[in-house]
Chain A
Amino acid sequence: MKRFAVICSALLFVGSLAAAMLELAPAAIDLRGPVAAHLAASGVSHPVTAVLLNYRGYDTLLEIAVLLLALLAILAVVGEPGAARPAPAHPVLQTLARLATPLMIVVAVYLLWAGAFRPGGAFQAGAVLAAAGVLLHLAGLLPGWQTPRLRLRLGLAGGFALFLAVAGGLLAQGTLLQYPPALAGGLILLIESGLTLSLALTLAGLFLFLSRDEVAP
């Protein structure tokens, strides 16, 4: 009975939402014009990167904080570290992982650099680096992470701290995260580099901290 009611209401919801979308009037506010008009002053030439790190930089700042918070919550939840190294995988997979990891690092650096003028940027680069870490772990080459020591903690929090420091420094001229146009490109690249490193460590940590007690009963 519950199943029937839920499915019926879901279908009704899709139907009404689809009808509304088909009838939807054009948006009253169009932000494409302003984004394109100020692109020259934003320091980058790709509009998505400009929105992420310049026009709405505080969204990205808080997003990193959310990611860090999630990692801290996971560290608080997972149990005592057990024997962390997974069983070594097949030699072919191990060799492939060893070959793929340097390539993935190169791809990550390229994505970071390309973010200024084409699709790419810190998030994509960080995700590729984190995927390299997860791949190494699954191939049995990288043990799951124990409770982080100082160096790893600095790496995890560094991107957020760097972003916050830039935001605080720019507060001196009145507005949070309003880059001077002459410095914007350099500042964005600096922030994105820090973000890439921290994002890669955080995203890999989401997996590697969780898998550390895999072997424990």
Chain B
Amino acid sequence: MTSGLLFALVGAALFALGVAGVVLIDHLLRRILAFNLMGSGAFLVLVGLAQRNGVPDPVPQAMVLTGIVVAVAATALALALTRKLHALTGRLDLPEDADD
């Protein structure tokens, strides 16, 4: 097993951890953290799989660099919306659906 494959496997585990967090956690800040964990897992899979033969591939690396910046922007927007929700309602979780 090469280190690239190991990165990809860890990335898959992180992604699943993030998905479980997004589904299970109610607190919005922790849910945003879990969402970021999902993103990091996906990035690790992309970079790791591309270099599983030992030679790094610059194209996925550049794409992941782009993805990281977009993830930062999305996180900041999510935090802004969370703060607005907190300011308006005083709570940090989303109301459950009535039929849930």
The finding on whether chains A and B are genuine partners in a shared complex, rather than unrelated, reads yes
A-side residues, CB < 8 A to B, are 2-3, 6-7, 10-11, 13-14, 17-18, 21-22, 24, 26-27, 30-32, 35, 47-48, 50-52, 55-56, 59-60, 63, 66-67, 69-71, 73-74, 77-79, 123, 199, 203, 206-207, 210
Shortest distance between the CB of B100 and any CB in chain A (Å): 10
B84 (CB) vs chain A CBs: closest residue: A77
A74 contacts B70, C-beta separation under 8 Å: no
Where chain A touches its partner, the secondary structure class is: helix
A21 to B10 CA separation, bound complex (whole angstroms) = 11
B-side residues, CB < 8 A to A, are 5, 8-9, 12-13, 16-17, 19-20, 23-24, 49-50, 52-53, 55, 57-59, 61-63, 65-66, 68-70, 72-74, 76-77, 79-81, 83-84, 87
Kindly identify which residue among A11, A32, A77, A207 contacts B57, using a CB–CB cutoff of 8 Å: A32
Residue contacts A-B, CB under 8 angstroms, 12 given: A6-B23, A18-B13, A21-B9, A30-B57, A32-B57, A56-B63, A66-B70, A70-B73, A70-B77, A78-B80, A78-B84, A123-B68
A78 contacts B58, C-beta separation under 8 Å: no
A31-B57, A32-B58 in contact; A123/B73 too (CB < 8 A)?
no
Q: Considering the complex of A and B, which 9 residue pairs feature the smallest CB-CB distances, nearest first?
A: A47-B58, A70-B73, A51-B62, A206-B76, A10-B16, A74-B80, A10-B20, A17-B12, A14-B16
Which residues of A sit under 8 angstroms from B87, Cβ to Cβ? 79
Which residues of B sit under 8 angstroms from A11, Cβ to Cβ? 16
A7 to B59 CA separation, bound complex (whole angstroms) = 34
A77 contacts B81, C-beta separation under 8 Å: yes
A55 to B20 CA separation, bound complex (whole angstroms) = 37
B66 contacts A60, C-beta separation under 8 Å: yes
Which residues of A sit under 8 angstroms from B80, Cβ to Cβ? 73-74, 77-78, 210
A75 (CB) vs chain B CBs: closest residue: B80
